[in-house]
DNA sequence: TCAGAATCGTCAGGAACCTGTCAAATTTTG
DNA sequence: CAAAATTTGACAGGTTCCTGACGATTCTGA
């Protein structure tokens, strides 16, 4: 599959794979995986989220999210507390360490992402995001 | 991660995941996986490609490609021949069955993809593809 | 109010991907 | 031309994701 569009979806996939690779490189010096970074972002935005909340937010499964969170808990990036109203569930929070690691990595990731878009103006960028948002949710009856 | 852009890369990921899901549904009635469909496309475009060629084209590894091709060979969608000039390598071709399955599935996938983009004009679509192509290759020094 | 449906975190097992490695073959380099 | 470097398909082992299932809990609607 060269540059000719054989299938739009695979063009998006290749964009994602490359962006993931770029991000992986950016996060390497911070000793964070892409999945860990995503999880830190989610917990920053949704403090006290449950495992299931995290899984949904990162478009994954509860099982995968749980395993990832277990590792991050061991690394003291996150902490879990019993949920005060729901005995099946937990509230998960960033630790101070988790937060500082996120704040260290975030500008680096953003800078790398910005570099990728050099040459596209604000209108084009906005339009692309609109398109991506559509792609992210369309097609389900 | 809601609709607010916390991280561009994850927006692209979600677009891909959803498009993959849509494609999966479209291919279900054809009893083809997304990876198989991608491989059929590659072999249609590059008849006689090697395992390594296929792997590169679908942005995967030789090992994964080889396993996938093995399954497709067993299902008589593809056939492998020794390479006439390179004794390490094979030339892989679509069988008539593989071709007919691809031709049956292709319009359905394209139709579904087109539906996703309803409301975006030709200029916007071209611009998005330019952006995606950039994202697919930028960032490597 | 209560029964059935849905959801929770977790366990178990498996699929689909990966990296490392190998011997042989081919290509590149000086 | 020979040595070094790279590439090939395949084996081995591992990682990361998945689905199915469970008992407990919560939600829903009649």
CB proximity B74–strand C (7 Å threshold): no
Residue A49, pLDDT > 50, answer yes
Of B9, B133, B138, the CB nearest to A20: B9
ipTM: 0.91
For chain A, give the percent of residues with pLDDT over 90.
Answer: 90
> In 3-state terms, what secondary structure has residue A5?
coil
The residue assigned the tokens 């770029």 is A22
> Can you tell me the mean pLDDT for A30-58?
95
For residue B28, what are the contacts with CB-CB under 8 A and spacing of at least 6?
A: none
Tens-place pLDDT, residues A82-124:
999 999 999 999 999 999 999 999 999 999 999 999 999 999 9
Q: CB contact, 8 Å: B102 with chain A?
A: no
B60's tokens: 């995967």
| Predicted local distance difference test score (pLDDT) of residue A137 | 87
Confidence of residue A138 (pLDDT cuts 50, 70, 90): confident
Cβ–Cβ under 8 Å, residues B51 and B69: yes
CB contact (8 A) between residue A1 and residue B136 = no
Residue A102: alpha-carbon gap to chain centroid = 12
> Distance (Å) from CA B102 to C1' C1?
58
CB proximity A49–strand D (7 Å threshold): no
Distance between CA atoms of residues B106 and A76, nearest Å: 49
* A93 sits in which H/E element: strand A90-94
Tens-place pLDDT, residues B32-51:
999 999 999 999 999 999 99
Q: Which residue has the higher pLDDT, A46 or B139?
A: A46
- Per-residue burial over B4-13, b = 16 or more CB atoms within 10 Å of its CB, e = otherwise: eebbbbbbbb
A51's tokens: 């495992």
A55's tokens: 């899984």
Residue B73, pLDDT > 60, answer yes
Helices vs. strands in chain A: H and E counts, helices first:
6, 2
| H-assigned helices in B58-95 | 62-74
Residue B3, pLDDT > 70, answer no
A138's tokens: 């369309």
DSSP code at position B78: E
CB proximity A66–strand C (7 Å threshold): yes
Query: Distance (Å) from the C-alpha of residue B97 to the closest C-alpha of chain A?
Result: 20
Domains assigned to chain B: 8-137 (1.10.10.10)
Confidence of residue B5 (pLDDT cuts 50, 70, 90): low
Residue B141, pLDDT > 80, answer no
For residue A82, what are the contacts with CB-CB under 8 A and spacing of at least 6?
A: A90, A91
Query: Distance (Å) from the C-alpha of residue A34 to the closest C-alpha of chain B?
Result: 10
Residue B124, pLDDT > 80, answer yes
> Can you tell me the mean pLDDT for B103-108?
95
Chain C nucleotides near the protein (CB, 7 A): 7-13, 16-20, 23-27
For residue B116, what are the contacts with CB-CB under 8 A and spacing of at least 6?
A: A8, A134, A135, A138, A139, B19, B22
């Amino acid at each position: 599959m060269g540059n000719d569009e054989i299938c739009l979806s695979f063009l998006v996939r290749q964009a994602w794979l490359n962006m993931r690779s770029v991000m992986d490189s950016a996060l390497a010096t911070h000793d964070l995986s892409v999945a860990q970074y995503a999880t830190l972002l989610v917990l920053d935005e949704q403090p006290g989220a449950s495992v299931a909340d995290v899984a949904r937010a990162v478009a994954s499964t509860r099982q995968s999210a749980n395993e990832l969170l277990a590792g991050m808990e061991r690394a003291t990036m996150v902490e879990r507390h019993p949920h005060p109203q729901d005995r099946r569930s937990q509230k998960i929070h960033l630790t101070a360490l988790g937060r500082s690691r996120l704040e260290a990595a975030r500008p680096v990731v953003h800078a790398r992402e910005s570099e990728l878009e050099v040459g596209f103006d604000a209108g084009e960028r906005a339009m692309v995001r609109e398109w991506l948002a559509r792609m992210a949710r369309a097609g389900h009856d």
